[in-house]
Amino acid sequence: SQQGEEDPQALSIQEGENATMNCSYKTSINNLQWYRQNSGRGLVHLILIRSNEREKHSGRLRVTLDTSKKSSSLLITASRAADTASYFCATDAISGGGADGLTFGKGTHLIIQP
């Protein structure tokens, strides 16, 4: 399966600022998801956006999806030190039914400076 691309690969900002990460993918999708991974740990699901949705919010998170450009963005507002982590987008391809394995982007490592 092909992996998506994410940019930037690394992002360092001051606490309180907003952080924006972008993701591109290559195939038609059912959903696009964003996950967070703290160092050496498993993944935590943040938000899922369906292919027929264009924008979704959850707390301080805002996700957009542009299927014509095969891209998505994740905005974290009012960042906190605890937001320091790696962030991955992941897509599942259109299939006949049931959940499919995910294709992950390369990830953005976010560092929030206190």
Partner 1 sequence: GAVVSQHPSRVICKSGTSVKIECRSLDFQATTMFWYRQFPKQSLMLMATSNEGSKATYEQGVEKDKFLINHASLTLSTLTVTSAHPEDSSFYICSATQGGRQPQHFGDGTRLSIL
Q: Which residues bind partner 1 (CB under 8 A)?
A: 1, 3, 30-31, 33, 35, 40-45, 48, 88, 90, 92, 97-107
Q: Do residues 9 and 106 touch, judged by C-beta distance below 8 A?
A: yes
Residue 69 CB, shortest distance to partner 1, in Å, is 21
d(Cα 107, Cα 23) in Å, to the nearest integer? 8
d(Cα 114, Cα 100) in Å, to the nearest integer? 39
Specify the residue, 11 or 15, whose C-beta has the smaller distance to partner 1: 11
Q: CA angle at residue 21 from 62 to 4, to 5 degrees? A: 110
Residue 16 CB, shortest distance to partner 1, in Å, is 28
Residue 102 CB, shortest distance to partner 1, in Å, is 6
Specify the residue, 1 or 18, whose C-beta has the smaller distance to partner 1: 1
